Amino acid sequence: MTDEVRQDAIGRAWEDLVATARRTAAEGLVVGTSGNVSVRAGGLVLVTPSGVPYDRLTPEDAVAVDLDGNQVLGDLAPTSELPLHLQVYRNTHAGAVVHTHAVHATAVSTLVPEVPLIHYMAAALGGPVRVAAYALYGTDELAANMLRALRDRTGCLLQNHGTVTYGDSLDQAYDRTAQLEWMCRLWLTAAALPGYSPSLLSRSQLREVEEKLQGYGRPRPST
Ligand SMILES: [Zn+2]
């Protein structure tokens, strides 16, 4: 890859990353500068910078690090949740990672150790979504807790904090966050009626869905 081609690829990836970050704010998954987004570009990881509102990010603000966390591009500091993003890239084939403080998902993270199987869409995240044990934001401890919760999954909750999902692309990582937030909202809604408790799916019912999804060759349903 020539330097010019590489710079073009990084420029395009940065544009896509900023668009996805803005979408998390526009669609109410984050408020202000909370949450962060990253994407793999070549051997590097592009990440949103710390403390800059997404609508103010320009092409010149691109921030990139290598997989060891060394900053190789940009003047702004990378997100404080960099350890969390890098752990995903080091341990999976993720192409993109989205972290938010979406309100329903974060509420559920304070109530249960695993999101109840309220809907078969849990299969699109690899199974029942776990809640990673609480640790201080931005720490290696939080990244390690998250990695345990992500085993065989493409998303998890962080206790009293928020969501993490990953995917092959920014769109897929974003869609998984939106699905996870929707599923948490669904459970909270169903569980809120006094005197009623929602029916839940069994593990075997979920496995049946997983097998059906795999039969279509893509672990991502549209229905
Ligand atoms: Zn956070």
pLDDT tens per residue, range 86-129: 999 999 999 999 999 999 999 999 999 999 999 999 999 999 99
* pLDDT (average), residues 154-163: 98
* pLDDT (average), residues 209-218: 79
Give catalytic residue positions. Answer: 81
**Per-residue pLDDT at 222 exceeds 60:** no
Residues with CB under 5 A from ligand 1 (ion): 162
Alpha-carbon distances of 97 from 144, 177, 208, 219, rounded to whole Å: 16, 10, 27, 17
For residue 216, the model assigns a pLDDT of 61
> Cα 186 to the chain's mean position, in Å?
19
56 alpha carbon to ligand 1 midpoint, in Å?
20
Q: What is the DSSP letter of 141?
A: H
Its CATH architecture, for the domain 3-215, is 3-Layer(aba) Sandwich (3.40)
110 alpha carbon to ligand 1 midpoint, in Å?
15
**Per-residue pLDDT at 198 exceeds 60:** yes
**Per-residue pLDDT at 174 exceeds 80:** yes
| 8 A C-beta contact, residue 35 and residue 101 | yes
168 alpha carbon to ligand 1 midpoint, in Å?
21
- Predicted TM-score (pTM) of this structure: 0.93
